[in-house]
Amino acid sequence: MRIKKGLKTGEVFVFLFLALLSFVILVPFVYLFTSSLKTNAQYFKIPIEWIPSPALWSNYYYVFVDLKFYVYMWNSTFLAASSVVLSVLSSSLIAYGFARFRFPYRNAMFIVVIATMMLPSQVSMIPLFIYFKSIGWLDSYKPLLVPQLFGSAYLIFLIRQFYITLPREVDEAATIDGCGYLRIWWHVIMPQAKPVLVVSALFVFLASWKDVFGPLIYLSDRSAYPLAVGLLYFTSPTSNAYTLILVAIVIALIPTLLFFILSQKYLNKGVNIANLK
Q: Which of residues 190-249 bind other proteins (CB under 8 A)?
A: 195-196, 199, 202-203, 206, 209-210, 212, 216-217, 220-224, 227-229, 231-242, 245-246, 248-249
Among residues 51, 108, 119, 176, the one that binds other proteins under rule CB under 8 A: 119
Q: Give the span between the Cα atoms of 196 and 91, in whole angstroms.
A: 12
Tell me, what DSSP letter sits at residue 50?
Answer: S
With contact defined as beta carbons under 8 Å apart, do 94 and 151 qualify? yes
Among residues 12, 27, 65, 170, the one that binds other proteins under rule CB under 8 A: 27
**Under the criterion CB under 8 A, does residue 58 sit at the interface with other proteins?**
no
Angle between the N-to-C axes of helices 242-267 and 194-210, in degrees from 0 to 180, rounded to the nearest 10:
170
Size of the site for other proteins (CB under 8 A): 147
Question: What are the backbone dihedrals phi and psi of residue 225, each rounded to the nearest 5 degrees, phi first?
Answer: -70, 145
Among residues 104, 108, 176, 191, the one that binds other proteins under rule CB under 8 A: 104
**Under the criterion CB under 8 A, does residue 56 sit at the interface with other proteins?**
no
Smallest distance from other proteins to CB 59, Å: 14
The interface with other proteins within residues 124-153 (CB under 8 A) comprises 124, 126-131, 133, 138-142, 145-147, 149-151
**Under the criterion CB under 8 A, does residue 41 sit at the interface with other proteins?**
yes
Write the CA distances from 128 to 153, 218, 226, integer angstroms: 18, 10, 20
The per-residue b/e assignment along 144-173, b for 16 or more CB within 10 angstroms, e otherwise, is bbebbeebbbbbbbbbbbbbebbeeeebee
Cβ atoms < 10 Å from Cβ of 250: 19
The interface with other proteins within residues 79-98 (CB under 8 A) comprises 82, 85-86, 89-90, 93-94, 96-98
**Under the criterion CB under 8 A, does residue 65 sit at the interface with other proteins?**
no
Q: Is 193 exposed, middle or buried (0-12, 13-18, 19+ CB in 10 A)?
A: buried
**Under the criterion CB under 8 A, does residue 16 sit at the interface with other proteins?**
no
Q: Give the span between the Cα atoms of 158 and 91, in whole angstroms.
A: 9
Among residues 34, 75, 208, 243, the one that binds other proteins under rule CB under 8 A: 75
With contact defined as beta carbons under 8 Å apart, do 84 and 262 qualify? no
**Under the criterion CB under 8 A, does residue 53 sit at the interface with other proteins?**
no
Binding mask 158-197 for other proteins (x = CB under 8 A): x--x--xxxxx-----------xxx--x---------xx-
Q: Which is nearer to other proteins, 53 or 236 (CB)?
A: 236
Smallest distance from other proteins to CB 187, Å: 13
| Listed residue (181, 170, 198) closest to 96, CA to CA | 181
